[in-house]
Amino acid sequence: MTFTPHGKHLIAGEWIGTDTTFQSQPAHGPAHAFSHGTPELVNKACEAAEEAFWTYGYTTRQERADFLNAIADEIEARAEAITEIGTQETGLPEARLQGERGRTTGQLRLFASHIMAGDYLDRRHDEALPDRAPLPRPDLRMMQRPIGPVAVFGASNFPLAFSTAGGDTASALAAGCPVVVKGHGAHPGTGEIIAEAIHAAIEKTGMPKGVFSLVQGGNRTVGQTLVQHPLINAVGFTGSLGGGRALFDLCAQRDKPIPFYGELGSVNPMFMLPAAIANRGATLGEGWAGSLTMGAGQFCTNPGIAVVIEGPEAEAFVEAAREALSRSGAQVMLTDGIAEAYTTGAAKMGAQTGVQSLLTSMCDTREAKPFLFKVAAEDWLGNHALSEEVFGPLGLVLVVKDAAQMEQIARSFDGQLTVTLHMDGADADAARRLMPILERKAGRVLANGFPTGVEVCESMVHGGPYPASTNFGATSVGTLAIRRFLRPVCYQNIPAVILPTDLV
C-alpha cells in the first residue's frame, strides 16, 4: 500500500489547504508539498475543540475506550503505508518504525484499559454528618475531571510514539480532552496518515469532529498562537531545551497561565562503581557503546556521560567502549538540521578546556558517526557547557578520584530523565550513599541496565526535575500521564440525579 500525501491540514473533520506550501525533506524517496499552517487555522481548530469538549468531555469511559481502540485499529490498518512514508521522511529503519507503531497502538490500548478500570478518577467520598457538633459536615465527593482542549507538539525523533497519536494525544483523549496537534516539519507525511487514521476513528465511533485537529508547518507564530490561545488549557511538548523553554515562557505569560508539560531531554549519566568495573568493565564498555549509538543516539534517554573512578579498570572500560564505537558505521540522522547541530556540538565539546578526544569522526551532511571524549572531574565541575546534551552518538567519560568525588559529581548534575548505577554486590555501600542523591536528580533510576528503551506501562516515569522536564510531578509515558490533563473537582451536597455518572 503506497501513500501519497495530499498536504492538507485536518481541522475539525475537514481537510483544508492554504495558499503557501513547504517541501518535505526526506532521507530518501520523493519530497511532497504541504500547506503552511496559519494562526487562522489554529483559531478554527481551537474553537472546534472547545465546542467538541461540551460533548466529548462528558462521554462515558466506555465510549472513550472504544474511540482509543478504534484509533489503534485504524493505525494498524495503514501499517505498511505508515512504515513506508515514515522511513522515507526520517531515515529510520523499517524495524524501528514497525516497533514504534506497535508502541503507539499499545499505549492507545493501554489507556483504553486504564480508564475502564476507573482508578485514575481518584474518587473520594466523605459522607454527611448532620448531627456533628459543633458544626455539621456536608456530603463531600471528589473526582478528577478533564480540563478542556489540549495542544500537543509532535517530536522530531519519534514520528509515531511522541507525535500525532503519541502518548500526549492518547492520554489527553483518554482524559476526555480534545486535542489540537502542531505537526513536526521533519515528518509531515507521517503526521498526515496518522491524522487520517484518527479521522476514520472519529467517524466510526461518532465522536464530535472537533475532538482532533492537525495543523502542519508554518512559522513560529503558528506555535505561539496555539500555546497562547485562550481556549487551550495545557500543552504537551517533546523537543529541545531552547524551543521548550520558549513555549513554557509563553504559557506562563498568558493572561491566564496554563501548565506546559515539556520533556526536554538530558544527558542521562551512568555511575560505574568499582566492583562492577573490575568484574565486567569490558562488557559494560561494549554495552554503553551499543546504547550510545542506538538510533544514531537520537533518544532523549541516550546515556551521554559515564562517571568512573580513575584506575586501570576504568581504562579497560574506556578502551572497550572506544573500540566498540570505532566499529560503528555511519547512521542517517532525522534531519539535516539535527545532523548539523550534532557536528557543531561535537566540535564545541572537543574544544573545551581539559577535554581529551578519544574518538573523532567525519560526518557527511545527514549522517552521524560516534565521538568519544574524556575529562577530569575538576575540569567538568567548572564548565557547565560539558553537561549540556549533544543530540547524537556522543559519549563523555568523566573521571573522578574516588567515591567521595563521585558523590560530588552526582550532586552537581541538573535534573535528568534517568540516572544509572552499574554495580556488583561489593558496591552496595557506595550505591546506598548515592541513591538519595540520584532519586532527587531523575524520574527513573536504573541498576545494571541502559536507559535507552522506555517501557510503556503503569509504573513508568518519563520526566524529571528541570531541565529534563518542565514539571517534575508529571510523566509523558505510562498511565500516570493522564493526570496532566485532569483536575480535581469537589461536589458538596450535590443531588445524585445531577452528579457525574462515575460518582454515583
Q: Which residues are catalytic?
A: 263, 300
Task: Tell me how long the chain is.
Answer: 504
One-letter amino acid for residue 262 of the chain: G
Question: CA-to-CA distance for 142 and 133, rounded, in angstroms?
Answer: 24
Cα–Cα distance list, 392 to 123, 293, 476, 483 (Å)? 44, 8, 21, 31
Q: Which grid coordinates belong to 498?
A: 445531577
One-letter amino acid for residue 430 of the chain: A
Cβ-based burial of 309 (10 A; exposed 0-12, middle 13-18, buried ≥19): buried
Q: State the chain's maximal CA–CA distance in angstroms.
A: 80
DSSP-assigned letter for residue 392:
S
DSSP-assigned letter for residue 469:
B
Beta carbons of 266 and 415 less than 8 angstroms apart: yes
Q: Which grid coordinates belong to 163?
A: 507525535
DSSP-assigned letter for residue 163:
S
Residue 96, SS3 per DSSP: helix
- Strands, E assignment, 264-369: 270-272, 305-309, 331-332, 356-359, 367-368
**Strands 14-16 and 9-11, sheet pairing:** antiparallel
Question: CA-to-CA distance for 356 and 409, rounded, in angstroms?
Answer: 19
158 closest CA partner among 186, 182, 179:
186
- Strands, E assignment, 209-348: 212-215, 234-238, 260-263, 270-272, 305-309, 331-332
Beta carbons of 390 and 372 less than 8 angstroms apart: no
53 closest CA partner among 182, 154, 153, 173:
173
Q: What are phi and psi of 421, to 5 degrees?
A: -110, 125
Cβ-based burial of 217 (10 A; exposed 0-12, middle 13-18, buried ≥19): buried
One-letter amino acid for residue 298 of the chain: Q
